[in-house]
Amino acid sequence: MEESENLTEIKSLLEKFTNAHGISGFEHDIRELLKKELEPYVDTVRRDCMGNLIAVKEGEGPSIMLAAHMDEIGLMVRYIDDNGFLRFVGIGGWFDQTLLNQRVVVHGKNGSIPGVIGSKPPHVMKDEDRKKPVKLDDMFIDIGAKDREDAENLGIEIGTTASLDREFVSLANGKVTSKAFDDRAGLVILIEVMKRLSKHKIKANLFAVGTVQEEVGLKGAKTCAFGVCPNIALALDTTIPGDHPGITKIDSSLELGKGPVITVADASGRGLLVHPQILKWLKETAAENKIPYQLGVGSGGTTDATSIHLTKEGIPTGTVSIATRYIHSPVEVLDTADIEACVSLIVKAVENVGRYF
């Protein structure tokens, strides 16, 4: 397949997965999409008791776990007031201001319905209030209900989830925007890797895993790694670049379009300090195959790799990420060429894993 065809397929998968909804703990629709995409390229697919999807391509040699989380950050109804407005909590790491005046999809028991996030209008705010950011606790979801009973008849109850109503759009120069690239981009990489590796035998026992509840504590990765117990593992995720206004190269030297990011350390070492042999494996593979890459050292934020590498007696683990602007917002932006390069790197790394492990 030519690179242009690869990029077309990558964009198609990104659109399918980011337009779908699945917040932490409620990943079922994403899991079904992932299962359907992976089944043609693996030997077995199963779901564990936590909800992780585990697809296996059997082979000889070390076992490798490739993990990408299925969940996106979202909202959950905590109270329905007498007038039918929904108060909510954030599920996952929100910056409150990104939520204000957004459209949402409320996933009621009678089906999904649209809503908008409202707050007190600035026209009636006191001068001192206008200078303060609006907090999530002061926001509410308006679904057009007449009152609490009407909202309940529409299928809303305490614990109903909601996600942002945003869809995939192409920008200029190979860039695209959507909600939930964190981490539907990782799922697309997972699918493309398994598709390309399905065409020949590999010297590895490969586990392609869609994990649950990463955004609320790396939970699915922890239990799944314990069950699978691979020899080595890679988390596939997104990370923050420093190539746009409001952030500097001192904060992040990463850029869109410069290739996948191989993590050296994240969360100032409180998260992952990459295993030296994993780092050697990935860097040498990229260099030998002339695949562009970047090295990442971060002070905040981590990935499933943190849970995986501390499982049982320890699992050599790394993270390969896609530089993505405006993470945890409705308008995340990435470069599809970085995803293609990442797929190539992971495929080549799996093929030569026997030289390193």
User: What's residue 4's pLDDT?
Assistant: 81
The distance from CA 100 to its chain's CA centroid, rounded to whole angstroms, is: 22
User: What's residue 283's pLDDT?
Assistant: 98
The pLDDT tens digits for 12-68 are 999 999 999 999 999 999 999 999 999 999 999 999 999 999 999 998 889 999 999
**Nearest partner of 162 among 356, 282, 21, 261, judged by Cα:** 21
The pLDDT tens digits for 309-342 are 999 999 999 999 999 999 999 999 999 999 999 9
- Higher-pLDDT residue of 61, 288: 288
d(CA 103, CA 95): 16
Active site positions, annotated: 214
**Nearest partner of 317 among 276, 274, 262, judged by Cα:** 274
Average pLDDT over residues 230-249: 91
pTM: 0.94
Strands 317-323 vs 232-239: parallel, antiparallel or unpaired: parallel
Average pLDDT over residues 105-119: 95
User: What's residue 127's pLDDT?
Assistant: 62
User: What's residue 88's pLDDT?
Assistant: 97
User: What's residue 124's pLDDT?
Assistant: 58
**Nearest partner of 27 among 237, 302, 213, 305, judged by Cα:** 213
- Higher-pLDDT residue of 120, 261: 261
Which two three-digit tokens encode residue 56? 């296996």
User: What's residue 203's pLDDT?
Assistant: 86
User: What's residue 133's pLDDT?
Assistant: 79
Q: Residue 128 pLDDT > 70, yes or no?
A: no
Average pLDDT over residues 110-131: 77
What is the Cα Rg of the chain in Å?
Answer: 21
